[in-house]
């Protein structure tokens, strides 16, 4: 660094002190024209330390290593014992957490509205049902005329199609089933058709996770209550219950039919793959509901497939799927896991598969539908005359307007639910009055925070990736190996006369931090600029937010990884700096949360946190975002239920 840096540093230091006063800063004024010193620093901060391929591969391996394997068992009795325990644990420990436990106890309530004519064999009855108090979903019941006795029933679910329940291929499927004598419920899906609104976009459901209520719970309750309504029909045959759907509907199909033994026949279409497959194939990374938080701590989708045994199950995938779950990589691992279990029951033939080549893309068109009709005939009308070819019904297709179902004017959605839940949060954060009790209480709170963010302490092995000199400042490029999982890039600036240590993190990564680095160097700081998981050079190149959601699905938390990396880097700086204290400086709301969490969890390593543009409350996330696509770590399950920013500040301040 040239000698003329002194004047620039002195000016910038004054601005910096004003902007960062009190630990929660206003926006830092930045000179309109960067100085030569800043340009030098900016060039150094731009240098590559870590390739994008390393970050991508590390997150893949991190996820792969946490996918549970399907156990091998000796007989059907042992398998049934496992399956019953998995069903119980998925429902109790994954689906119905938080307020969802109370929603679960509500009775299914349906309101029947007008009917419209179908073909000559059936009518369409409109209804709406309450998924949870104040949240209603529209549905259509295709009901044969002149019913006698018990008849098969079918639940028709749909995926991410804007047309929702009125999409043509779904109507054709429902009509073909009802013409064969089945009662069929065509149910709307969140964010689609009549429910296509911002408050129901799937990523809004993650706001429920932040509040400690499972984001997947409304999805499962919708399915469960749909089945309740079907089976309450006086002509429903409980021995013949089918579920089928495409894409997100395929996910709904396997999720319900594995967890609810009332489903006797299941046909998911291009709707899911194993978590291990998803880690390697980014196209398969599922949305919020398809990757429920902590599901992988109990089961993988390979388990769910095997849990269908010994009930008839047709797995349909597409050969050239242009969306997700392509047959060549998604299907075989599921068959490998499930086939031995079906064989245990002597029902190997009850697990079948179909790979679609016409058209082979992401579809539930005629060939796939006819495979579904065929399996219905095999198991619901065995030995009876049955034609599985599609019955023409084009003239019976109805418009979306004709299929519209009236809904309450003030229908809740994911966002309004989360705002209502968040209003009374967090809970149980009032400390006792006695100092001795307060210290013990804080230790308990710190342990709760560690469990909430799944904090993992990391050991650091530092590898030099390069060295430079900038005047009297030694610049070192580091690759910090964090345990066996992560490699974190960092650039260290060390003046000869440094007095204090700053660990700098920024929402936009290290490459835009040169003004801040300049100011800190001017205050005689040794500065390390770190790119923790998901930021800067540690960013994930493909479908980044979905990898963070997958991590949560496997029991980890992005925030815990980030806090662990920051705390480990601070400990390493402390050790290499003769034990001198380390301060964490953050720029932006995302890194303000990461840094504060690290300091609250490892206060011995971090003396204080200084934040520019920080979050003042986690409720800001609910009120104005950003969404999980931009800041996945902020949607850590139950974080707001248990803590808010002042609580974390209290833990960080009490070392």
pLDDT digit string (tens) for 103-118? 999 999 999 999 999 9
For residues 485-513, give the mean pLDDT.
96
Average pLDDT, the chain: 93
Instruction: From 623, 617, 604, select the one nearest 648 (Cα to Cα).
Output: 617
pLDDT at 650 over 80: yes
Mean pLDDT in residue range 155-178:
97
What pLDDT is attached to residue 432? 82
N residues, the chain: 655
First and final C-alpha spacing in the chain: 36
**CA 481 to CA 571: how far, in whole Å?**
13
Does residue 76 surpass a pLDDT of 80? yes
The sign one gets for the Cα dihedral 22, 26, 31, 37 is positive
The DSSP bridge pattern shows strands 151-156 and 183-187 to be parallel
For 477-498, write each residue's pLDDT tens digit: 999 999 999 999 999 999 999 9
Residues 189-236 have pLDDT tens digits of 999 999 999 999 989 999 999 999 999 999 999 999 999 999 999 999
218, 227 Cβ separation under 8 angstroms: no
Average confidence (pLDDT) over 161-173: 98
Domains, the chain, in order of start with CATH, read: 5-26+34-46+441-653 (3.40.50.1820), 104-394 (3.40.50.1820)
pLDDT at 297 over 60: yes
In this predicted structure, what is the pLDDT of residue 560? 98
The three-state secondary structure class of 563 is helix
Question: CA-CA distances (angstroms) from residue 206 to 34, 452, 628, 634?
Answer: 40, 15, 7, 10
- Spatial strand order of the sheet with 351-356 comes to 109-117, 122-132, 135-144, 183-187, 151-156, 236-246, 265-269, 313-318, 351-356
Cβ atoms 548, 633 nearer than 8 A: yes
State pLDDT tens for residues 12-28.
444 444 345 344 443 44
Q: Return phi, psi of residue 516, to 5°.
A: -70, -40
How much is the average pLDDT of 143-164?
97
CA distance 176 to 153: 13
pLDDT at 300 over 90: yes
pTM of the complete model beyond 0.75: yes
Q: Exposure string (b/e) for 617-635, b if CB count within 10 Å is 16 or more?
A: ebbebbeeeebbeebbbbb
For residues 598-614, average pLDDT: 94
Q: What is the pLDDT of residue 620?
A: 96
Residue 150 burial class via C-beta count within 10 angstroms: exposed 0-12, middle 13-18, buried 19 and up: middle
Among 481, 478, 508, which residue's Cα sits nearest to residue 591? Answer: 508
pLDDT at residue 655, rounded to an integer: 58
Q: φ, ψ for residue 245 (rounded to 5)?
A: -175, 165
- In this structure, the number of other CB atoms found within 10 A of the CB of residue 402 comes to 10
Q: How many CB atoms lie within 10 A of CB 339?
A: 16
Q: Is the pLDDT of residue 516 over 60?
A: yes
For residue 252, give the H/E element and its range.
helix 248-259
Q: What pLDDT sits at residue 33?
A: 67
- Residue 101 or 542, more confident: 101
**Cβ–Cβ under 8 Å, residues 456 and 564:** yes
Report d(CA 482, CA 565) in Å as an integer.
7
Helix, strand or coil, per DSSP, at residue 423: coil
Predicted confidence at residue 625, as pLDDT, reads: 81
Q: What are phi and psi of 143, to 5 degrees?
A: -125, 125
């Amino acid at each position: 660094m040239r000698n003329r840096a002194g004047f620039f540093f002195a000016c910038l230091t004054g601005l910096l002190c004003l902007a960062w006063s009190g630990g929660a800063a206003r926006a830092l004024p930045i000179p309109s024209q960067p100085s030569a010193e800043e340009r030098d620093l900016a060039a150094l901060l731009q240098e590559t330390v870590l390739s994008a391929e390393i970050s991508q591969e590390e997150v893949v391996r991190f996820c792969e290593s946490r996918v549970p394997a399907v156990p091998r068992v000796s007989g059907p009795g042992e398998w049934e014992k496992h399956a019953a325990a998995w069903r119980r644990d998925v429902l109790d420990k994954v689906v119905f957490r938080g307020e969802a436990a109370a929603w679960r106890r509500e009775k299914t309530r349906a309101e029947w509205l007008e009917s419209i004519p179908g073909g000559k064999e059936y009518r369409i009855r409109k209804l709406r049902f309450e998924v949870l108090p104040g949240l209603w979903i529209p549905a259509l019941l295709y009901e044969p005329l002149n019913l006698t006795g018990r008849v098969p029933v079918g639940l028709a679910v749909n995926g991410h199609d804007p047309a929702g329940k009125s999409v043509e291929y779904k109507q054709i499927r429902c009509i073909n089933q009802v013409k064969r004598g089945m009662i069929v419920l065509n149910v709307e899906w969140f964010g689609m058709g009549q429910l296509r609104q911002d408050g129901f976009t799937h990523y809004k459901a993650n706001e429920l996770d932040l509040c400690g209520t499972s984001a997947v719970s409304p999805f499962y309750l919708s399915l469960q209550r749909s089945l309740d309504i079907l089976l309450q029909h006086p002509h429903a045959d409980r021995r013949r219950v089918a579920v089928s759907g495409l894409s997100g509907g395929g996910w709904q199909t396997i999720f319900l039919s594995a967890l609810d033994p009332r489903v006797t026949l299941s046909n998911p279409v291009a709707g899911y793959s194993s978590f291990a497959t998803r880690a390697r194939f980014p196209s398969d990374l599922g949305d919020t509901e398809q990757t429920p938080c902590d599901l992988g701590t109990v089961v993988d989708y390979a388990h769910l497939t095997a849990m269908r045994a010994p009930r008839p199950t047709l797995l349909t995938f597409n050969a050239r799927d242009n969306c997700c779950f392509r047959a060549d990589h998604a299907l075989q691992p599921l068959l490998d896991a499930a086939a031995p279990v079906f064989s245990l029951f002597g029902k190997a033939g009850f697990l079948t598969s179909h790979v679609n080549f016409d058209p082979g893309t992401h579809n539930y068109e005629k060939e796939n539908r006819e495979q579904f009709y065929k399996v219905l005939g095999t198991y619901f009308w065995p030995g009876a005359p049955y034609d599985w070819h599609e019955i023409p019904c084009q003239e019976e297709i109805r418009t979306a307007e004709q299929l519209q179902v009236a809904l309450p004017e003030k229908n809740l959605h994911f966002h309004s639910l989360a705002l209502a839940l968040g209003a009374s949060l967090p809970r149980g954060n009032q400390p006792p009055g006695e100092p001795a009790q307060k210290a013990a209480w804080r230790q308990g709170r710190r342990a709760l925070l560690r469990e909430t963010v799944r904090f993992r302490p990391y050991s650091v092995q530092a590898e030099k990736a390069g060295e430079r000199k900038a005047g009297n400042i030694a610049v070192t490029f580091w690759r910090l190996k964090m345990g066996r999982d992560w490699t974190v890039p960092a650039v260290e600036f060390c003046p000869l006369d440094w007095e204090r240590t700053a660990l700098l993190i920024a929402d936009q990564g290290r490459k835009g931090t040169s003004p801040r680095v300049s100011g800190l160097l001017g205050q005689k700081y040794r500065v390390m600029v770190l790119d923790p998981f998901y930021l800067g050079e540690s960013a994930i190149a493909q479908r980044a937010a979905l990898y963070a959601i997958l991590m949560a699905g496997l029991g980890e938390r992005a925030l815990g990884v980030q806090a662990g990396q920051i705390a480990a880097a601070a400990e390493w700086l402390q050790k290499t700096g003769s034990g001198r204290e380390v301060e964490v400086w953050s720029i932006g709301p995302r890194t303000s949360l990461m840094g504060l969490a690290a300091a609250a969890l490892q206060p011995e390593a971090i003396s204080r946190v200084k934040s520019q543009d920080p979050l003042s409350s986690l409720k800001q996330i609910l009120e104005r975002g950003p969404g999980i696509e931009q800041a996945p770590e902020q949607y850590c399950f139950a974080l707001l239920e248990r803590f808010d920013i002042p609580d974390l500040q209290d833990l960080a301040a009490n070392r």
